[in-house]
């Protein structure tokens, strides 16, 4: 519900601040006084495009701010989806700067115009006599049927199922496409996989093989140096072992004379022990060195296999080859297991589809049951609105496809004349008829679901006095369940409002401005009397105005 509207520096409005309440509110005023400006400002705060022509004073910014009470609208999830803070008293502000830049805020959070447009559908519904698109829109037509059928919970369940169904269908399609691609490469991937599997590569193997081969390729040099090292170490006359034995013996003879000599003898003994250990290892190494041409060939063959695989897969390590092996194993397994995976996914889809069909059937049955009642209520309301021969027929047909709200196709058919043929609503109704049909449908909707604020913009144009009374009564009844704001030129409708606002022009400091005010009871009598008789208000007009208000 719109609770407050403030406008600064917009069109002919310099400064305006007005409160609104629930029920039926009336806005009247002379032609050109600024009623369309009010709607324009409200449209601006609801996300309509704007430019510098919207500014009254192009050196100041334009600000439009609307307050909405949204506690009864169940909009928490929508606010969450839009990433906006939810407040039961929500404030939407739009600013147009002198530079032409536009800014929008919801509860002081900067937002895009798409966010305002998403909120608009839940907060404000503006109708004019020339509005025909919504009534011809299939989504709107279904919303009317489903409101009457009380299908909200069933459709919510259906949509959850449809989301799961579409998700599974997408997964199946991706799985089939991926399998098809893998099938095309299966033989090649299997060949690569088997090649790597037969190679039985080990982490660190390449470095070990290269080290062994390097050793075997220099076997003669190694043998020669090991032999010479042993000669240097163990020669009876000049070998290191002989020299160290002699050095150790000399120092041990004098070690008892000084702590210093004793430490030197101990250190030499340590070195001698280490030398003996090195010599033992040299002897073992020398014995192990053996030229084996077969081993060199085997090592070369193994390394060449590794090098070939690395070149083939454009990598330089065994670790990278092992990663490729794992990837190929996954691809090969996917193809080999694809049949089972696809069958499992298809079984999931079938299960969801059966449940979805069951919910869709319940929705269809509810709609079928509700249609006769809806047709009758529309016909009764149109009878009141001066269309006694109007006939409304709603055609419901089954669809093979899963649609967004069930498995039905819907057509609104209409005949305005007795004995006339039915035709599609959008093709056979006039503007005046359409406005009355829309009013009737909105009346029915207001009794079945929580509607946003409805603003009727002169939909009563060209309507006779008696019919205007009926229109006023319907709007008044709607106001019992929701907020209705009506812009009108008819005194019969103006008299039915719980609140009455007047749009007027005035001259301030030589500049024409538009303004809006809530009328007192006396001001309201005068306004309705003026609507009846013109500027020169007659006594009879005042009496008639009081009668209408009473």
Place of tokens 């599974």: 168
Give buried/exposed letters for 229-250 (b at 16+ CB in 10 A, else e).
bbeebeeeeebbbeebeebbee
Whether 38 contacts 28, CB under 8 Å: no
CA gap 371, 391 in Å, rounded: 13
pLDDT digit string, tens, across residues 148-172: 999 999 999 999 999 999 999 999 9
Fold exhibited by the domain 1-129+450-519: Rossmann fold (3.40.50)
Q: Once rounded to an integer, what is the mean pLDDT over residues 362-370? A: 95
Torsion of CA 247, 248, 253, 256, to 10 degrees: 130
pLDDT level of residue 72 (50, 70, 90 thresholds): confident
Tokens read off for 53: 């022509």
Question: What pLDDT does residue 129 have?
Answer: 60
Rounded distance between C-alpha atoms, residue 284 and residue 291, angstroms: 15
Instruction: Tell me the CA end-to-end span of the chain in Å, nearest whole number.
Output: 27
Residue 256 and residue 262 in contact, taking contact as beta carbons nearer than 8 Å: yes
pLDDT interval class at 132 (50, 70, 90) = low
Q: How far apart are CA 420 and CA 414, in angstroms?
A: 9
Greater confidence, 366 or 258? 366
**Mean pLDDT (whole number) for 367-384:** 92
**Per-residue model confidence (pLDDT) at position 189:** 82
Q: Please check the confidence at residue 130 and state whether its pLDDT lies above 70.
A: no
Predicted pLDDT of residue 391: 86
Q: Rounded mean pLDDT of the chain?
A: 87
Q: Who wins on pLDDT, 341 or 7?
A: 7
- The pTM score is 0.66
Q: What is the pLDDT of residue 498?
A: 92
DSSP 83: T
Cα separation of 489 and 154, whole Å? 43
pLDDT value for 464: 72
55: which DSSP letter?
Answer: B
Q: List, for residues 273-332, the tens digit of each pLDDT value.
A: 998 899 898 888 877 777 677 777 888 888 888 889 989 999 989 899 999 999 888 888
Pairing of strands 23-28, 483-487: parallel
Residue-level pLDDT at 509: 81
Least confident of 339-348, 355-364, 453-462: 453-462
> Is 491's pLDDT higher than 80?
yes
Q: Domain segments of the chain: what residues?
A: 1-129+450-519, 177-337
As a three-state string, the secondary structure of 495-531 is CCCCEEEEEEEEEECCEEEEEEEECCHHHHHHHHHHH
Query: For residue 131, what pLDDT is reported?
Result: 55
């Amino acid at each position: 519900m719109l609770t407050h509207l403030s406008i600064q520096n917009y069109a002919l409005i310099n400064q305006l601040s007005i409160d609104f309440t629930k029920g039926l509110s009336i806005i009247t005023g002379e032609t050109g006084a600024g009623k369309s400006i009010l709607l324009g400002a409200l449209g601006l705060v609801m996300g309509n495009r704007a430019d510098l022509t919207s500014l009254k004073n192009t050196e100041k910014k334009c600000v439009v701010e609307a307050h909405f009470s949204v506690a009864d609208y169940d909009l928490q999830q929508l606010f969450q989806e839009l990433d906006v803070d939810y407040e039961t008293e929500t404030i939407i502000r739009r600013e147009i700067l002198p530079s032409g830049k536009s800014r929008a805020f919801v509860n002081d959070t900067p937002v895009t115009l798409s966010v305002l447009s998403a909120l608009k559908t839940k907060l404000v519904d503006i109708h004019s006599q020339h509005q025909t698109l919504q009534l011809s829109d299939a989504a709107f037509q279904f919303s009317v049927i489903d409101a009457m059928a009380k299908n909200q919970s069933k459709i919510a369940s259906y949509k959850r199922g449809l989301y799961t169904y579409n998700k599974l269908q997408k997964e199946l399609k991706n799985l089939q496409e991926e399998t098809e691609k893998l099938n095309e490469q299966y033989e090649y991937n299997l060949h690569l996989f088997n090649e790597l599997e037969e190679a039985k590569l080990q982490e660190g193997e390449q470095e070990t093989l290269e080290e062994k081969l390097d050793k075997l390729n220099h076997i003669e040099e190694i043998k020669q140096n090991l032999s010479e090292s042993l000669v240097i170490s163990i020669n009876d006359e000049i070998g290191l072992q002989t020299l160290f034995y002699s050095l150790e013996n000399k120092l041990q003879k004098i070690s008892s004379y000084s702590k210093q000599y004793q430490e030197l003898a101990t250190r030499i003994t340590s070195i001698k022990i280490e030398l003996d250990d090195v010599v033992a290892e040299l002897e073992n190494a020398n014995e192990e060195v053996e030229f084996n041409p077969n081993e060199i060939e085997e090592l070369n063959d193994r390394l060449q296999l590794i090098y070939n695989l690395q070149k083939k897969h454009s990598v330089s390590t065994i670790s990278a080859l092992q990663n490729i092996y794992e990837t190929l194993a996954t691809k090969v397994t996917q193809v080999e297991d694809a049949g089972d995976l696809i069958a499992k996914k298809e079984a999931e889809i079938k299960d969801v589809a059966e449940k979805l069909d069951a919910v869709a059937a319940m929705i269809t049955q509810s709609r079928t049951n509700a249609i006769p009642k809806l047709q009758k209520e529309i016909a009764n309301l149109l009878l009141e609105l001066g269309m006694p021969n109007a006939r409304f027929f709603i055609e419901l047909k089954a669809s093979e496809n899963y649609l967004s709200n069930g498995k039905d196709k819907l057509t609104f058919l209409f005949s305005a004349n007795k004995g006339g043929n039915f035709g599609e609503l959008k093709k056979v109704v006039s503007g005046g008829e359409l406005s009355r049909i829309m009013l009737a449908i909105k009346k029915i909707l207001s009794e079945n679901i929580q509607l946003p604020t409805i603003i009727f913009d002169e939909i009563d144009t060209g309507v006779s006095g008696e019919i205007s009374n009926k229109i006023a009564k319907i709007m008044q009844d709607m106001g019992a369940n929701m907020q209705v704001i009506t812009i009108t030129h008819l005194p019969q409708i103006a008299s039915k409002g719980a609140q009455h606002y007047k749009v007027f022009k005035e001259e301030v400091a030589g500049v024409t401005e538009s303004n809006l005010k809530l009328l007192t009871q006396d001001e309201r009598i005068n306004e309705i009397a003026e609507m009846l008789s013109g500027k020169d208000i007659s006594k009879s007009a005042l009496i008639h105005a009081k009668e209408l208000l009473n």
